[in-house]
A and B are shown apart, each in its own frame.
Chain A
């Protein structure tokens, strides 16, 4: 069985940064992803990022991914394995995985789980009809493969993802009929909201989708107004003709492997659902398992990158790597995270992290 110092599961921004951090310390690292490319969610982000300059604000996600991938591939002690799905993680430091249809195992002293998040569903009649797609799916289809999801889209959710994907749909030449948002106000940044509004897309706050209409595929939707208790107001139903209903109603951490490994978990709505308890080094209740990125709490690529770096550095430290430089890097990563989560925008994340830290 092959042995590594560090095994990283998931090659999104968090996993890539973790690999660069641990690899730069001279450790033998394996980075695996179930997709056939690295970059995770970043590869479909065509818009300019927010954040501080240190986390590449102003750069497009897809370009950030390219840079990180170049850095990873330049490290000879980091092995990248693609089209490989991590399946089981055990206390004897063994990981089982599937690749090319076969079931295999490897061993590592430390594991960093950076599996990201998956899209949330909403319950309404007809939500299983073809044409009801997650916002990430729409982005993948459109920005990676150059295929439009349809011709007329109803967007559900006015958080950043709903707003950004609406704008990207317009860029691809797809009509966005309206954005419905259950809450009384727009959740995403105002810059994104202004962009879609300027393009003539109405944002209906305190509105939701009641039903998807269609026989074999989506043909339309019934939307209605909500009162302050999020209850549908009767008589406010209206039908909207659309061939796509795009759900941008949030993400949940992809934690299957952490449950299976029996890490201690906690339900934290502010972080998107169940997450693993972790200490200040990103180590879970299992001393050989670290977490980083959306799997540790749904946030942003900027924080995912810094968390990945922090986890990679701390895993290296726990394996005996030392020195003033390492200590400095760890301190710097922590203060970057603090900065990213400061101010009113970080309120929710900070409240969530308090419940997940031990």
Chain B
């Protein structure tokens, strides 16, 4: 379990527990935390494959700067999941390649 249960200085105020889908799997996390934090707590560290050599990638900076953590969220590709907040019912998928822009945007 990667959630911190006790801390000498901090108390964590979590949002509501919500369910979401990750590559077809049903997982739970807390509303208001980042998608990356929820996935990490659920033991998911590989967030995508690099586009050329298909090497596994996780997050690196966690502040939306390095682009290591791009995933497909509710059909939209290239979402930085280290800063995008989790919402109930989100559909999160491992992105294939560079991802295509939706036609309606």
Q: Do A and B come from one complex?
A: yes
Chain A interfacial positions (CB closer than 8 Å to B): 34-36, 46, 60, 118-119, 121, 128-134, 136-138, 140-143, 145-150, 171-173, 216-217, 254
Determine if A128 and B50 form an interchain contact, defined as CB atoms under 8 angstroms apart.
yes
Interface of B is mostly: loop
**Residues of A close to B14: CB separation below 8 A:** 146
Q: Do the beta carbons of B62 and A141 come within 8 Å of each other?
A: yes
- Known contacts: A137-B61, A145-B12. The answer to whether A129 contacts B2 by CB under 8 A is no
Judge whether A147 and B58 touch: CB under 8 Å: no
Given known pairs A131-B58, A134-B62, A137-B62, the reply for A146 and B12 (CB within 8 Å) is yes
CB-nearest residue of chain B relative to A126? B55
Q: How far is the CB of A302 from chain B (nearest CB, A)?
A: 20
- In Å, the complex CA distance between A347 and B58 comes to 38
B9-A145 in contact (CB<8A) = no
**Nearest chain-A residue to B56 (Cβ)?**
A216
Within the assembled complex, what's the spacing in Å between the Cα atoms of A131 and B14? 24
Contacting pair B37 A136 (CB below 8 A)? no
Given contacts A118-B66, A130-B45, A149-B40, 7 further A-B contacts (CB under 8 A): A35-B64, A133-B60, A136-B63, A137-B62, A138-B62, A142-B4, A146-B7
Do B9 and A46 have beta carbons less than 8 Å apart? yes
When chains A and B are docked, how far (Å) is the Cα of A138 from the Cα of B37?
11
Q: Are A143 and B10 in contact (CB under 8 A)?
A: yes
B57 at the interface (CB under 8 A from A): yes
Whether A130 and B61, one on each chain, are in contact in the complex, defined by CB atoms closer than 8 angstroms, is no
Query: Judging by beta carbons under 8 Å apart, are A118 and B3 in contact?
Result: no
* B-side contacts of A171, CB under 8 Å: 7-9
Q: Does B47 have its Cβ within 8 Å of any Cβ on chain A?
A: yes
Q: Can you list 18 A-B pairs, Cβ within 8 angstroms, ordered by A? A: A34-B64, A35-B64, A118-B66, A119-B66, A121-B60, A128-B50, A128-B68, A130-B57, A133-B60, A133-B62, A134-B62, A145-B37, A147-B41, A148-B3, A148-B4, A149-B2, A171-B8, A217-B58
A247's nearest neighbour on chain B, judged by CB, is B60
List chain B positions with a Cβ less than 8 A from chain A: 2-4, 6-10, 12, 14, 33-34, 36-37, 40-41, 45-47, 50, 55-66, 68, 82-83, 85
Bound CA–CA A332/B65 (angstroms): 35
Expressed in whole angstroms, the Cα–Cα distance for A136 and B4 within the complex equals 18
Chain B: CB-nearest residue to A40 = B63
Q: In the complex, which residue of chain A has the Cβ closest to the Cβ of B53?
A: A128
Chain A residues with CB under 8 A of B6: 173
Could you tell me the distance between the alpha carbons of A229 and B35 in the complex, rounded to whole angstroms?
43
The residue that B2 contacts in the complex, of A34, A35, A133, A148, with Cβ under 8 A, is: A148
- Is B10 touching A130 in the complex (CB atoms < 8 A)? no
Chain A: CB-nearest residue to B58: A130
Q: Which residues of B contact A119 (CB under 8 A)?
A: 60-61, 66
Does the CB pair A146–B47 fall under 8 Å?
no
Residue of B nearest to A140 (CB): B62
Within 8 Å CB of B40, what residues of A? 141, 147, 149
Q: Which of A130, A136, A140, A145 contacts B56 (CB 8 A)?
A: A130
Instruction: Collect the chain A residues with CB atoms within 8 Å of residue B12's CB.
Output: 145-146
- Which B residues touch A118, using CB under 8 A? 61, 63, 65-66
Flag if A147 contacts B4 (CB, 8 Å): yes
CA distance A140 to B81 in the complex (A): 13
Q: For B58, what are the chain A residues with a Cβ–Cβ distance below 8 Å?
A: 129-133, 217
Measured between beta carbons, the chain A residues less than 8 angstroms from B4 are 142, 146-148, 172-173
Q: Are A128 and B55 in contact (CB under 8 A)?
A: yes
Docked Cα-Cα span, A173 to B5, in Å, equals 9
Q: Which of B46, B59, B82 interacts with A217 by CB under 8 Å?
A: B46
CA–CA, A129 to B62, complex, Å? 15
Contact of B34 among A46, A136, A145 (CB under 8 A): A145
Chain B residues within an 8 Å CB radius of A136: 61-63
Cβ contacts under 8 Å, A129 to chain B: 55-56, 58
Q: How far is the CA of A90 from the CA of B56 in the complex (A)?
A: 39
Assuming the contacts A147-B37, A147-B41, asked whether A254 and B46 have C-beta atoms less than 8 A apart, the reply is no
Please name all residues of chain B whose beta carbon is closer than 8 Å to the beta carbon of A140 when the two chains form the complex: 62-63
Give the CA-CA distance A274 to B34 in the complex, in Å: 31
Would you call A36 and B85 a contact (CB within 8 A)? yes
